[in-house]
Amino acid sequence: MTFLVEYKWFILIGLEVLAWTSTFFLFYARYRLQSKFWFKVGMVLFAITGVIPQVLMGIINFIIKRELDIFTLVIILLILYGATIGKKQVKKLDVWAQKNFQRKNAGNIDKFS
């Protein structure tokens, strides 16, 4: 547990990078690969790297520190962001990904026809 508390910021940043990478992979699997299997794999990756470990880290940090410190507040803000503004931004990103990946697919289909 001391490792987690000592390196919590690095772990949080790494998890955020992995969560956003998983999000982009979800869009790629959905629109470019058009694969339900890889989309589900992306969902699992997102769950493993996204909200679940961040919430657990916030809880562990709060239990060990016994106070509401800046790290726990950042976790709370990330969760609030994801539940509010983040949903709208992901929807915009979804529309962008759909347009861009489908345009590439249409170009590839025309090229082989």
What is the reported pLDDT for 65? 87
Q: What does the pLDDT look like over 51-67, one tens digit per residue?
A: 889 889 989 999 988 88
Domain ranges of the chain: 2-112
The model's pTM is 0.73
Q: What is the mean pLDDT of residues 74-81?
A: 90
Burial of 79 (C-beta count, 10 Å sphere; 0-12/13-18/19+): middle
Q: What is the mean pLDDT of residues 61-90?
A: 89
The one-letter code for the residue type at 55 is: V
d(CA 39, CA 58): 28
